[in-house]
């Protein structure tokens, strides 16, 4: 039986797809693809008439050093919450933008990067990448208004508790649009 050029081409495509899906090389390819997509996707705000209000701020965490923290302490301020994991390509793809945004807004906006991952893996990942972000691990249930079945998910909450942004998937969090939104919310 002779193999045709078409069959060889199909075999090459199948091998390439398997490499992308099931090897560490594939993880990096997916991160790169998500970075490319995130660069063109800027999160949109929830229409004012459709915004839900965060009434339950009961969400307890521990930080990277094991110290207790919680969402309640951030109430009345502009808050950005990102739920992520080191094994999630879209999560990893959007972290550079978050790192830059955090560096510029850390004294004005309350940030919480809630990791759905093993604490040691997260610490190793952050050190390797050089990220200095306020990362937490949840120790209580997520408030109903912030529950999501997917990651990454990011919320921006205004001082009154309105969910202004509710974005699932990677996005460019260091965009002018996000910065302008944060500036507007801070001015309120």
Question: Is this prediction's pTM over 0.85?
Answer: no
pLDDT of residue 87: 93
- Which of 5-9, 38-42, 91-95, 184-188 has the least mean pLDDT? 38-42
Burial of 60 (0-12, 13-18, 19+ CB in 10 A): middle
Taking only the tens place, the pLDDT of each residue in 122-155 is: 999 999 999 999 999 999 999 999 999 999 999 9
Give the closest residue to 28 by CA, choosing from 82, 87, 83. Answer: 87
In a domain, 29, yes or no: no
Burial of 131 per CB tally in 10 Å (0-12, 13-18, 19+): middle
How many structural domains compose the chain? 1
Whether 136 is in a domain gets the answer yes
26 assigned to some structural domain: no
In a domain, 23, yes or no: no
What range defines the domain where residue 166 resides? 38-187
Residue 137 lies in a domain: yes
Query: pLDDT, tens digit, for every residue of 48-73?
Result: 888 899 999 999 999 999 999 999 99
- What is the torsional sign of CA 26, 133, 76, 186? negative
Residue 152 preceded by cis peptide, ω within 30: yes
Whether residue 86 lies inside any domain: the answer is: yes
Task: Confirm whether 25 is domain-assigned.
Answer: no
CATH number at residue 77: 3.40.30.10
Q: Is residue 166 part of a domain?
A: yes
């Amino acid at each position: 039986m002779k193999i045709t050029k078409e069959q060889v081409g199909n075999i090459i495509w199948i091998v390439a797809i398997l490499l992308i899906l099931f090897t560490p090389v594939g993880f990096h390819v997916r991160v790169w693809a998500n970075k490319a997509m995130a660069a063109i996707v800027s999160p949109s705000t929830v229409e004012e008439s459709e915004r839900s209000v965060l009434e339950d701020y009961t969400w307890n965490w521990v930080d990277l050093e094991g110290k207790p923290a919680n969402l309640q302490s951030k109430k009345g301020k502009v808050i950005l919450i990102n739920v992520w994991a080191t094994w999630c390509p879209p999560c990893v793809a959007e972290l550079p933008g978050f790192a830059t945004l955090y560096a510029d807004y850390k004294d004005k906006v309350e940030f919480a990067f809630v990791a759905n991952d093993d604490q040691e893996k997260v610490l190793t990942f952050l050190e390797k990448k050089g990220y200095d972000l306020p990362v937490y691990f949840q120790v209580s249930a997520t408030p109903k208004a912030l529950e999501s079945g997917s990651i990454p998910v990011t919320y921006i909450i205004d001082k009154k508790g309105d969910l202004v942004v509710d974005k699932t998937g990677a996005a460019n969090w260091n965009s002018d649009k996000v910065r302008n939104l944060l500036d507007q919310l801070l001015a309120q």
